[in-house]
Amino acid sequence: MPSREIQRLRSHVHDLEQRLQQHRDTATASLATPPISFAPSPTSTATKLDPRNERGSPKKYWEGIYTSTAQSQQTQYYGPASSFYFIGRMSSHLAVALQQPHADHHMQPNSASRTFATPTSPQRGSLDDVAVTADGPTAADTLTGIQEDYFLELFWQSYHCVLQIMDEAEFKEHYKSLYVAPGRPRKPSALVDIVLALCMQYGVAFVPRSSAQMQVDVDGNDATIAGRWLYRRSQTLLSAELESPSIRTLQCHILAVYYLCNASFQNMAHSTLAVAIRTAQILGLHLEPPENMPRQTKELRKRLWWTLFTVESKTCMKLGRPMSAQISEATCSLPADDHELALLSRSSFASSEDNVTWHTYNLQNTKLILAAHAVYLAFHDQCAEILAATDGTTLYGDAQALETCAQLLSTGME
């Protein structure tokens, strides 16, 4: 190599070394320890750490209603999006129009939750009488193997199509393993018990009732609380799994939410939903499944998480309460619905079109709930801004504010 070229390279290297040293000197100077000052900050630490100030000034949300909707006279909170808020406003309007007091509970639908303290209460009574439910099932309550097979078949014909959280073949293998000896009852299983309880609700609802049974009051024979002793045994078995939950534990919690919601125990369903969300987070379902898992297992975990998210979204929107599962903290992608996955699921559902499988409903329903929840949040944020600007508690006294919110809702749904 010519000496002139070597000299040029050496000069260039020397120049780079000088620049690097200057950069190091500057970085060292910037890391010098600043003088310690004990002067009070103009903004207090408490204000800086207040989570309500993360997105500006605290929001002023639309106030809900406190009303008694259960067997007890204790009141519960329901937001302005709930049907109970609507019933409360109707009751207030009638009280003014008719010039006589009109209690909210007179307009609320009659249900098991207004008659029984819990789904497992054997008779009407207060919360003090619930202790008697610790007894096991009677001989009349116990199902035979043939009866269990009948009700379990209802699950695959109904709930399994829209609630895709279980592997049909795996469940049937688990159920078969519970029979250890011919002629002997099966071993208890929390998952089998809650599936049976849910299907007894569904199946008994189709049983014709005589005119004498068509009574206004809800009694122990009502279809909404059919299978209640199976629900109770399932919950008892689940109590031993709280510290070390499994996928089956989560499946039980989700099915229990449906059972309680069908029985009109909305607050119990909401509480069980919170336990299900924490269980899913303990299992790591809110995160993308590990790559070393089989595809069928990964997709089941995705369906479980997004089913849980959609159930909570619908429940919280229906009750007007905040959510526990924050989508910003979840990295789990949406489940797939291709033909290869449908074959792996081992369920006997035929595909109707080239791009449609029995998993397609689950995916499209999830997308629909995500869109509806986004509109719901945007609508209530807009309401909060208007209430903060007007220092109000409700929008019904401001016609312009109502019109603004209605336009936002209409635009978001397009």
Nearest to 322 by CA among 53, 70, 81, 52: 81
Average pLDDT (355-382) is 89
Query: What is the per-residue pLDDT for 33?
Result: 46
Cα of 355 vs its chain's centroid, Å = 29
Q: Is 77 left (phi over 0), alpha (psi -120 to 50) or beta?
A: beta
Average pLDDT (64-92) is 84
Average pLDDT (200-220) is 65
314-354 residue pLDDT tens: 999 999 999 888 888 899 999 998 888 877 776 666 666 67
38-49 residue pLDDT tens: 444 555 555 555
H-type alpha helices, 239-265: 247-262
Query: What is the per-residue pLDDT for 133?
Result: 44
Average pLDDT (247-262) is 96
Per-residue pLDDT band for 220 (boundaries 50, 70, 90) equals low
158-178 residue pLDDT tens: 999 899 999 999 999 999 999
Nearest to 311 by CA among 245, 260, 236: 260
Q: Percent of the chain scored above 90 by pLDDT?
A: 35
Is the distance from CB of 116 to CB of 124 less than 8 angstroms? yes
Q: Name the more confident of 180 and 312.
A: 312
H-type alpha helices, 131-227: 145-157, 159-162, 168-177, 190-204
Is the distance from CB of 312 to CB of 267 less than 8 angstroms? no
Per-residue pLDDT band for 69 (boundaries 50, 70, 90) equals confident
* Dihedral (Cα; 104, 110, 116, 121), 10-degree rounding: -160
Distance between first and last Cα of the chain: 71
Per-residue pLDDT band for 113 (boundaries 50, 70, 90) equals low
Per-residue pLDDT band for 31 (boundaries 50, 70, 90) equals very low
Q: Name the more confident of 38 and 116.
A: 116
Rounded to two decimals, the pTM is 0.79
Is the distance from CB of 337 to CB of 363 less than 8 angstroms? yes
As given in the structure block, the two tokens for residue 185 are 């009852």
Is the distance from CB of 160 to CB of 166 less than 8 angstroms? yes
Question: Nearest-5° angle of CA 234, CA 171, CA 192?
Answer: 20
373-403 residue pLDDT tens: 998 988 888 888 888 887 777 778 778 888 8
Distance between CA atoms of residues 69 and 238, nearest Å: 27
As given in the structure block, the two tokens for residue 315 are 């429940």
As given in the structure block, the two tokens for residue 307 are 């089913």
Place of tokens 């469940």: 171
Query: What is the per-residue pLDDT for 194?
Result: 96
Per-residue pLDDT band for 134 (boundaries 50, 70, 90) equals very low
Q: Name the more confident of 192 and 384.
A: 192
Per-residue pLDDT band for 284 (boundaries 50, 70, 90) equals very high
Q: Name the more confident of 372 and 28.
A: 372
Average pLDDT (116-121) is 70
Average pLDDT (279-299) is 94
Mean pLDDT of the chain: 79
Nearest to 386 by CA among 153, 60, 104: 60
Distance between CA atoms of residues 66 and 88, nearest Å: 9
